[in-house]
Amino acid sequence: MTTVTTRGIHLSCERLNRVLEAFGHPEQRLKVVRVGGTNGKGSVCACLAAILHEAHYKVGTFNSPHLLEPRDSIAINGVPVDSASWAQLHKDIDTAESLHITPLTNFERLTLCALVWFDRQQVDLAILEVGVGGRRDATSVCQRSALVSVLTSIGLDHVGLIGDTLTEIAEEKSGIINPGGVTIVAEQPYPEIVAVLKNAVDAMQPQEALLVAPARRLTMLTDATTKDAIEDSPEILVSGNQYELDWSQRTDLRQPLSPRQQSPPSPTTEARTPTRPPLVFRSPLLGSFQLANFAAALHAVDALRRVY
């Protein structure tokens, strides 16, 4: 990968689609979960992968940027693609590029490596982290294969490249919504973002679209020093603490929303007639911002139970 010339960022799927044809369109054979947004994508991907692996699924994960070297961004059940397979993937891609006279950007090439590798290894599910934006990101070649699309907290990122305002950026990121799948939206920092996502849901008409409230931390502390530290700094969460997810705290984005419903989510009818107990769980992830990520990941897994 280090021998590939950097070709900049070109938001389009045209080049990648042409080269995918040479591989028999592996993206069409994959069952995909796409995770987009600004903050929390990596955490949601990690939570999803851990839960599905524990349930004995063969799970491919594609994250960016890489940690130590490019190939560690592509893994199956936590194990990165091996060096020999990595070299063969790039050899095959070089051949396909030359045949189609279609030079790929580095991220497009990395995305292609992930899709081809996951297909060859016959993963049960592929979890793909969106790189830039959503609508024109390289992972959009898998939009129709996405059983579940997750949108984490959206803020100002890649300003000028995918938009100049929050609403423009949210519109670009909403492009990961698949009409044939389920969309899970984490708690958003601004009501105008929810309004944009609601409009996108109305246009795309996914099977389900849920705006989900964060999980909450259960007070289980016994160490006085740690408890004092948390009281002084509420943002601190202790590794391994207990959390609770109320499944009813969600809003159906396919229905009209009142201003009160836009942020945070309000209970649905399920809350008035509870049929499902809250889920109590533990996690080592730190930071109060993870509460929204936990909820998004768990609701995504729940959606997979219905559509996989």
- In this predicted structure, the answer to whether residue 136 has a pLDDT above a threshold of 50 is yes
Structure tokens at 122: 């016959």
Nearest CA to 108 among 251, 249, 12?
12
The reported pLDDT for the residue numbered 235 is: 52
The reported pLDDT for the residue numbered 274 is: 57
Are 97 and 103 contacting, i.e. CB atoms less than 8 angstroms apart? Answer: yes
Q: Please tell me the distance from the alpha carbon of residue 65 to that of residue 42, in angstroms, as a whole number.
A: 10
With cut-offs at 50, 70 and 90, classify the pLDDT of residue 11: low
As a whole number, mean pLDDT of residues 81-110 equals: 90
For 40-87, how does the pLDDT look when each residue is reduced to its tens digit (9 = 90+)? 999 999 999 999 999 999 999 999 877 788 899 999 999 999 999 999
Q: Please tell me the distance from the alpha carbon of residue 124 to that of residue 77, in angstroms, as a whole number.
A: 11
- In this predicted structure, the answer to whether residue 131 has a pLDDT above a threshold of 50 is yes
What angle (nearest 5°) sits at the alpha carbon of residue 30, between those of residues 302 and 96? Answer: 150
Helix or strand (DSSP H, E) at 34: strand 32-36
Higher pLDDT, 64 or 170: 170
Q: Please tell me the distance from the alpha carbon of residue 298 to that of residue 123, in angstroms, as a whole number.
A: 21
The reported pLDDT for the residue numbered 129 is: 96
User: What is residue 197's three-state secondary structure?
Assistant: helix
The reported pLDDT for the residue numbered 56 is: 97
The reported pLDDT for the residue numbered 273 is: 45
Q: Count the residues in the chain.
A: 308
Residues 6 or more apart in contact with residue 138 via CB below 8 angstroms: 13, 16, 105, 107, 108, 111, 112, 131
Counts for the chain of helices (H) and strands (E), in that order:
10, 12
The reported pLDDT for the residue numbered 266 is: 46
Give domain limits for the chain.
Answer: 14-212+292-307
CA 33 to chain centre: 7
Residue by residue, DSSP assigns 140-159 as: GGGGGGEEEEEE-B--S-SB
Nearest CA to 129 among 196, 53, 47?
47
Nearest CA to 64 among 97, 25, 35, 88?
35
As a whole number, mean pLDDT of residues 25-40 equals: 96
As a whole number, mean pLDDT of residues 83-93 equals: 95
Q: pLDDT averaged over the chain?
A: 85
For 14-212+292-307, the fitting CATH number among 3.40.50.300, 3.40.47.10, 3.40.1190.10, 1.10.10.60 is 3.40.1190.10
Report CA torsion sign: 9, 11, 14, 18.
positive
